[in-house]
């Protein structure tokens, strides 16, 4: 099969090579009917753009912004480090990743940060709060031609182009099954902690968790979820309260960050061996406490995979190329102390 070129498309469509280049690379300034003619020629000829050639032909680098939360969340710090590493690799493909930090628990502050992004940027990936002002800010970026991805926590009602993260309903159901099996036939209460119920990932985890416990483990009672903004001190205070108020507490599920707080509360109360603790993300501290036995199981999402996938998806969508679904699927990993990588 003969490989088609931009020149072949230009001849078939009856337009200039420059016009074809503008259509293929998604640049503005081309009449809608001309775009239709070019796209029809591309389909007729079976033309496949060469991404490496288009990158070399670009007059400037792609400008992608990564918006991450401030705070002490260990997983988010690990994700930032992976984006830093990805930034070095992406430079050779004429892609610039710029990281900035915002209090993502504050919907108005996050929306303001998105609104202040420079006009003309090519893409944004944001750990997003499901908040009306954030939704409007995402929609405004999308309407201006910026590719927007949500990262870790989704805003599905917005006009974001793609979500990069795990299936959080499944993560919550997995946590429930692990706790149910670890607790066994014992009866008692289960405490659940979230960073914020305005974060879609935490809400989805809560829903999946409560669904499985209520359906499959009648010996367990899930207490009302408590929010702690993923901060170690707040999480510890909540965990201490759960332990003090409920002598029959048999398990804790922390759907967000601040795992050090739960681990400290369990060990201080000498109840680490009696209370099952299931948490999220394999970090330096959760690894140590998984080995010690304070943590019984970890549900993990690979921060490196997420950073690399974000860069690939932003570039593919900017260039009009399809996303490789299998490559970009973020898996749910389950770690016990016996299979720590």
- Give the model confidence (pLDDT) of 139-165 as tens digits: 999 999 999 999 999 999 999 999 999
Say whether pLDDT at 93 is over 80. Answer: no
Return the C-alpha torsion angle 243, 246, 250, 253, nearest 10: -60
Domain boundaries, the chain: 6-49, 62-164+304-313, 168-300
User: CATH top-level class for 6-49?
Assistant: mainly alpha
Task: Please indicate whether the domains covering 6-49 and 168-300 agree at the CATH topology level.
Answer: no
pLDDT digits (tens, 9 = 90+) for 231-281: 999 999 999 999 999 999 999 999 999 999 999 999 999 999 999 999 999
User: Could you tell me which CATH number the domain at 62-164+304-313 has?
Assistant: 3.40.50.2300
In the predicted model, what is the mean pLDDT of residues 58-74? 89
Proportion of the chain above pLDDT 70, given as a percent:
95
**Conformational region of residue 120, where left means phi above 0, alpha means psi within -120 to 50, and beta covers everything else:** left
pLDDT digits (tens, 9 = 90+) for 181-226: 999 999 999 999 999 999 999 999 999 999 999 999 999 999 999 9
Q: How many helices (H) and strands (E) does the chain have?
A: 14, 12
What DSSP element (H or E) covers 45? helix 32-45
Dihedral of alpha carbons 229, 235, 239, 245, sign = negative
What is the widest separation between alpha-carbon atoms in the chain? 79
pTM of the model: 0.83
User: Could you tell me which CATH number the domain at 168-300 has?
Assistant: 3.40.50.2300
Return the C-alpha torsion angle 313, 315, 318, 319, nearest 10: -110
The pLDDT mean for the chain works out to 93
Of residues 5 and 231, more confidence is placed in: 231
Of residues 145 and 50, more confidence is placed in: 145
3-state secondary structure of 201: helix
The whole-angstrom separation of Cα 119 and Cα 121 is 6
């Amino acid at each position: 099969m003969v490989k088609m070129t931009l020149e072949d498309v230009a001849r078939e469509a009856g337009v200039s090579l420059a016009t074809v280049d503008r259509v293929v690379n998604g640049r503005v300034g081309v009449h809608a009917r001309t775009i239709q003619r070019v796209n029809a020629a591309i389909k007729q000829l079976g033309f496949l753009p060469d991404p490496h050639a288009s990158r070399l032909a670009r007059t400037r680098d792609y400008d992608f912004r990564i918006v991450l939360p401030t705070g002490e969340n260990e997983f988010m710090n690990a994700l930032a480090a992976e984006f830093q590493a990805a930034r070095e690799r992406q430079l050779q493909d004429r892609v610039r990743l710029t990281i900035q930090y915002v209090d993502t628990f504050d919907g108005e502050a996050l929306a303001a940060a998105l609104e202040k992004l420079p006009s003309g940027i090519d893409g944004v990936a944001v750990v997003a709060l499901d908040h009306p002002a954030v939704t409007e800010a995402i929609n405004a970026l999308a309407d201006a031609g910026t590719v927007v991805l949500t990262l870790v926590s989704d805003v599905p009602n917005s006009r974001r182009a793609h979500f990069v993260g795990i299936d959080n309903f499944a993560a919550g159901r997995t946590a429930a099954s692990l706790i149910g099996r670890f607790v066994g036939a014992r009866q008692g209460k289960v405490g659940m902690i979230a960073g914020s119920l305005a974060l879609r990932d935490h809400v989805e985890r809560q829903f999946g968790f409560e669904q499985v416990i209520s359906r499959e483990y009648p010996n367990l009672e899930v207490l009302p979820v408590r929010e702690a903004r993923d901060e170690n001190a707040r999480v510890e205070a909540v965990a201490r309260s759960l332990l003090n108020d409920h002598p029959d507490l048999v398990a804790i599920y922390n759907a967000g960050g601040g795992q050090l707080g739960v681990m400290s509360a369990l060990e201080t109360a000498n109840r680490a061996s009696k209370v099952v603790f299931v948490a999220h993300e394999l970090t330096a501290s959760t690894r140590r406490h998984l080995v010690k036995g304070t943590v019984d199981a970890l549900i993990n999402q690979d921060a490196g995979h997420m950073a690399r996938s974000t860069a690939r998806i932003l570039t593919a969508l900017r260039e009009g190329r399809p996303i490789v679904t299998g490559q970009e699927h973020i898996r749910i990993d389950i770690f016990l102390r016996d299979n720590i990588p």
